[in-house]
């Protein structure tokens, strides 16, 4: 029934639904992020060619690093995940990082709170060097190994790496 009584239908009970909207969570993360000074990440130069690194920028294990050197790397709250993120904001099986040739992609695998790349919700997204991936309350920075850039070959270099 409505408060004014104009749109009530006799013989029907009003439907009740519950929606979860996490806008407060994102604004809270923005506030915390602006209070943290950016620190340079060392060790990227030493990455094997074609691999990448995820560095936890924000979350309970800030500073942790995860090497992406497999075709598929799972991230979630399940202890068997390749990247174990122990927090209730993370689903047991939250996301996967997939490597296909020179590209890395993050794929949400049915999480409750979603996966974000650069603060935009995504089902899947190709990652570029420096992208920020948010899984629950964890913010991870994606860093690529020595390829010269975050995309394909450099100017004057073939895709197979021929040249000098």
pLDDT value, residue 27: 57
Give phi and psi for 31, each to the nearest 5.
Answer: -65, -45
pLDDT tens column, 42-96 = 566 777 778 899 999 988 889 999 999 899 999 999 999 999 999 999 999 999 9
C-alpha–C-alpha distance, residues 50 and 101, integer Å: 8
C-alpha–C-alpha distance, residues 107 and 120, integer Å: 13
Starting at the edge strand found earlier in the chain, the sheet holding 115-117 runs 65-68, 52-58, 138-144, 132-135, 115-117, 120-122
pLDDT value, residue 60: 85
pLDDT value, residue 20: 52
Indicate if the pLDDT at residue 25 is higher than 80.
Answer: no
pLDDT range class, residue 13, cuts 50, 70, 90: low
Tell me what the mean pLDDT of segment 8-12 comes to. 60
C-alpha–C-alpha distance, residues 85 and 75, integer Å: 7
Q: Which residue has the tokens 């799972």?
A: 74
Q: Which domains does the chain have, with CATH numbers?
A: 56-142 (2.60.200.20)
pTM for the complete prediction? 0.65
C-alpha–C-alpha distance, residues 158 and 32, integer Å: 43
pLDDT range class, residue 128, cuts 50, 70, 90: very high
């Amino acid at each position: 029934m409505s408060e004014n009584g104009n749109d009530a239908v006799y013989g029907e009970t009003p439907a009740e639904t519950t929606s979860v909207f996490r806008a407060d969570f994102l604004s809270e993360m923005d506030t915390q992020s602006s209070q943290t000074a950016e620190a340079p990440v060392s060790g990227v130069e030493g990455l094997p060619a074609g691999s990448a690194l995820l560095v936890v920028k924000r979350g309970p294990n800030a500073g942790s690093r995860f090497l992406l050197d497999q075709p598929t790397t799972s991230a979630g709250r399940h202890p068997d995940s390749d990247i174990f993120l122990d927090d209730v904001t993370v689903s047991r099986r939250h996301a996967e990082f997939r490597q296909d040739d020179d590209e890395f992609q993050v794929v949400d695998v049915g999480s409750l709170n979603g996966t974000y790349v650069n603060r935009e919700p995504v089902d899947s997204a190709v990652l570029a060097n420096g992208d920020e991936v948010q899984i629950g309350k964890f913010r991870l920075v994606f860093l690529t190994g020595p390829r010269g850039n975050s995309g394909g070959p450099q100017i004057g270099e073939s895709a197979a790496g021929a040249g000098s």
